[in-house]
A and B are shown apart, each in its own frame.
Chain A
Amino acid sequence: MSPDAALIERLLERDVRAFEELYDRHSRIVYSLVLRILQQASTAEEVVQDIFLQLWRNAALYDGARGPFLPWLLTLARNRALDHLRRKSERQRRREDQSDELPPASVSAPDFEGNLDLQRRAARVRELMSGLKPQQRQAIELAYFEGLSHSEIASRLEEPLGTVKSWIRNGLLKLKEGLGATA
């Protein structure tokens, strides 16, 4: 049984210490992702708080039979953040306090410190992505971090729809192949 799966089992028994460990293991990557999507530190913290409280209150939502915990958690986090982003109009976002922008670099952790496996995985994903054409990479990032569809990306990049579809599919297949080779 993986460490995460063992922690989830303890979480089902309302073990606060297990929650603390899960939070310490994954809060940085979850927060980094949510902050990248929402671009506002305080809003990102609110969303991260909701995600972990949901996990505490309903750990049974995670079904171990469908795969490892972290991809599931990251999918949940991304969906929550994108949902939040869509609910908020651009106008509302501009009205928010400017002091609430991205935190200064010194506040950021250097790089998922304390977890070498995460560091290695992050480095591998970045390496694989850097092997893609810049526009291909941009198309995938627009879909992942901004929740744009094929046609919205084609419009944003002023490229044919078919080209954007190929970029995204081929890019993700390369990523899958590269990650599979290092798994």
Chain B
Amino acid sequence: MSSSDTTRDPYLALIEAYALGALDTDERALLEAHLAAGCAECARSLEQARSVVSQLAYLAPAAQPSRMLRGRLLKTVRDEARTGNAPTPAPAKAIPLWLWAGVAAAFLLALYNLHEAQSTHEAIRRAQAALDEQIQLQKKSAQDLRAARREAWILTDPKSVRIAMPAGKTGFPELQATWHAALGIVISGEKLPVPGGKRTLQLWFVPKAAGGKPIPSRNVRPESDGRFHLLVEEPPERQGDTKLLAITEEPEGGSEQPTTPPIWVGAVQSR
């Protein structure tokens, strides 16, 4: 066995139990840190182990959901399909044919009708601009999709820690934070008062270490309708080292240290 095998073995020995969700806190944190560091072999083994573990579902006594459930679901789905509600985030797709057709048509027009070259040139420019815009939209869509997948895992993984963040100000709603040791933090809330001017809300990690200063993280303004949503993919501090999450109001762009008292605070109890 090579030295690298020896190094990996302790982690590989944890993979099956991790896929089953049976690891206790210390071992789970150890393996998640290792996976987060990007070990491809452990990631592959984990995919296989998850597939095996999923087969345990067949041990459940066979049962059939009611016809009513099927009817309810199909009604909801048909209604949403008809009204266009709850759209699926579009994955990156090929450039629409109409766009290419527009460019081709513009070129043909230029060749056929030289005296209209100027307008044809303009048509091409517009088509090119539309094409560039489409490409940018696709890039944004791909980024949004990656973030949505990450958020879905953070929110649904039983290993995530849920942290209530009550507000210290009367009339302000409570925020809910969900922290996954390997994937990051999602914080959300509704009906928040929107800060005045260009001021923003900034997240802080308050370390457990005595005298430790709050560590700044991302800042974001709530939507105009009061919805607040923040994803931190790489928190600057680990769960075990963090005592509190706090959110303050800060000038646009955020601050290095808090300039106002925290509005929301949540105690972190790592698992």
The 0/1 profile, CB within 8 Å of A marked 1, for residues 158-189 of chain B is 10000000000000000000000000000000
Which residue of B63, B70, B152 contacts A61 across the interface (Cβ within 8 Å)? B152
Q: Which of A16, A75, A168 contacts B54 (CB 8 A)?
A: A75
B14 nearest in chain A by CB position: A169
Q: What residue in chain B is nearest A27 (Cβ atoms)? A: B65
B196 contacts chain A at the CB level, 8 A cutoff: no
Q: Is A7 an interface residue (CB 8 A)?
A: no
CB–CB B149/A83 < 8 A: no
Tell whether, in the assembled complex, residue A125 and residue B91 are in contact, meaning their CB atoms are under 8 Å apart.
Answer: no
Main secondary structure of the interface of B (DSSP, over half): helix
- Which A residues between 34 and 81 are near B, CB-CB below 8 angstroms? 35-36, 44-45, 48-49, 52-53, 56-61, 63, 66-68, 70-72, 74-80
Bound CA–CA A55/B229 (angstroms):
22
Residues of chain B with a CB closer than 8 A to A23's CB: 70, 73-74
Contact B76 A53 (CB under 8 A): yes
Check if B56 sits within 8 Å of A125, measured CB to CB: yes
Mask of B46-63 contacts with A, CB within 8 angstroms, 1/0: 011111111111111111
* A176 x B50 contact (CB < 8 A): no
Q: A125-B58, A179-B52 are in contact. Are A49 and B73 (CB under 8 A)?
A: yes
A103 CB–B CB distance under 8 Å: yes
Q: Chain A binding site: helix, strand, loop or mixed by DSSP?
A: helix
Mark B86-124 against chain A: 1 for CB-CB distance below 8 A, else 0. Answer: 111111000000000000000000000000000000000
A28 to B66 Cα, complex, angstroms? 10
CB distance from A150 to the nearest CB of B (A): 5
Residue of A nearest to B25 (CB): A149
B152 closest partner in A (C-beta): A61
Is the Cβ of A60 less than 8 Å from the Cβ of B22? no
Contact present for A79 and B77 (CB under 8 Å): no
Residues from chain B with a CB closer than 8 A to the CB of A83 are: 156, 158
Q: Is A14 an interface residue (CB 8 A)?
A: yes
Asked if A109 is an interface residue, CB under 8 A from chain B, the answer is yes
Is residue A133 within 8 Å, beta carbon to beta carbon, of the partner chain? no
Q: Is A122 an interface residue, CB under 8 A from the partner?
A: yes
Q: Which residues of A contact B152 (CB under 8 A)?
A: 58, 61
Contacting residues of chain B (6-24) with chain A, CB-CB under 8 angstroms: 13, 16-17, 19-24
Residues of A within 8 A of B66 (CB): 45
Known: A28-B65, A32-B61. A176 touches B48 (CB 8 A): yes
Question: Which residue, of B20, B72, B145, has the highest number of chain A Cβ atoms within 10 A?
Answer: B20
**Nearest-neighbor residue (CB-CB) of A81 within chain B:** B158
Task: Please report the C-alpha to C-alpha distance between residue A60 and residue B90 in the assembled complex, in whole angstroms.
Answer: 7
Q: Is B80 an interface residue (CB 8 A)?
A: yes
A97 to B12, CA, bound (A): 45
Give the contacts of A98-113 with B (CB-CB under 8 A). 103, 107-112
Offer 10 A-B interface pairs, CB within 8 angstroms, sorted by A.
A28-B65, A32-B60, A49-B72, A53-B73, A76-B156, A143-B17, A144-B56, A147-B158, A172-B17, A179-B52
B interface residues, Cβ below 8 angstroms from A = 13, 16-17, 19-24, 27, 47-66, 69-70, 72-74, 76-78, 80-81, 86-91, 145, 148-149, 152, 156-158
Q: Known pairs A48-B69, A175-B56. 11 more at Cβ < 8 A?
A: A56-B77, A60-B89, A60-B149, A72-B54, A109-B63, A129-B59, A150-B22, A150-B27, A165-B17, A172-B16, A175-B55
